[in-house]
Amino acid sequence: MARSPVRSLLRLFAALLTVVSLGALTAGPTTAESRTFASHTVAMANFRFVPQTVTVRAGDTVTWVNTSGSTHTTTSDSPGWNFLVAPGQASPPVSFPTPGTFRYHCTPHEGLGMTGTVTVTQ
């Protein structure tokens, strides 16, 4: 028995609908989880952190680069991170997964006002 042309058309239409649906599934909106995290740099220069306050988004990283001739530390006021950074060197990147205000200092030069803040937004 020959196939009904109507039935063949319906089958083709169903196949096309499937392709369109799959396309819609794979082309969904970009979610916050899939964004690329940014890397931020804070300089240690002239016994100051520059910028003194760096604002990042949750999940971003901050690296301290010592552009001065003295050794400095980046040391969180609360338990967190503590790195000694020689002249011309950089700290490992520190990740900030949760929003908040994170104050830190340079241990040998805190008395000179060498302090900084990392502000982490959502």
Write out the residues near Cu ion by the rule CB under 5 A: 72, 106, 109, 114
Secondary structure letter of residue 56 according to DSSP: E
User: At its nearest, how many Å lie between Cu ion and the CB of residue 106?
Assistant: 3
Residue (49 or 102) nearer to Cu ion, CB = 49
Smallest gap from residue 57 Cβ to Cu ion (A):
27
Which residue has 């700290």 as its token pair? 91
CB of 114 to Cu ion, least distance (A): 5
Find how far residue 54's CA is from the centre of its chain: 13
The residues with which 84 forms a beta bridge, in sequence order, are: 73
d(CA 84, CA 100): 24
Closest to Cu ion by CB, 10 vs 112, is 112
